[in-house]
Structure 1
Amino acid sequence: MSITEQYLLDTYRARQHGEPAPPAPGAHDWQVVREWRDYRRFRAVLAERPARGRMRRALAHWLHPAR
């Protein structure tokens, strides 16, 4: 059974029972990507690895504002 078929079956069952419909497949993909990125950054901090990208620039600006 494909993802779409399972979604349609779940939607049908929810409607029959008067429950809210489940979220569509892929509705939260970007949220998952952001959470995964944040988790990687958090693990890097715990492992005492240096910050990269925007975080590094923000820290550099905060620590050395005269630059």
Structure 2
Amino acid sequence: MNALHQYLFDTYRAERLGEPMPPAPGTHDLAVLRRIRDRRLDRRRLERALAGRPARGGGLRAVLLRWTRPGSC
């Protein structure tokens, strides 16, 4: 049984029992991925701070923004 089959069983059961419908498979995937990314960034910032290095975040993004910002050269 895959996630879609389980979802269909759960929606059928919820409808018969008058319970709220469950979320569709994949509804919260992006939120979970963002949460994982944020936790990794927080851990890296903490490790940098404990090592005595600046704890600024977004290294690659910051460099790309500096390079593409008008008048930065």
Superposed pair shares fold, TM > 0.5: yes
- The normalised TM-score by structure 2 is 0.66
Which runs of 5 or more structure 2 residues have no equivalent in the other structure?
50-54, 64-71
Question: Alignment identity in percent?
Answer: 47
Q: Output the CA distance in 1 between the equivalents of 2:60 and 2:19.
A: 44
Tell me what 1:35 maps to: 35
Number of equivalenced pairs: 58
For the pair 1:10 / 2:17, whether they are aligned, the reply is: no
TM-score scaled by length of structure 1 = 0.72
**Unmatched tracts of structure 1, length 5 or more:** 58-66
Give the deviation of 1:53 after TM superposition: 3.5
For residues 46 and 19 of structure 1, the distance between their equivalents in structure 2, rounded to whole angstroms, comes to 43
RMSD over aligned Cα, in angstroms?
2.1
Runs of 4+ with deviation above 4 angstroms = none
Q: Separation in 1 of the partners of 2:2 and 2:30?
A: 21
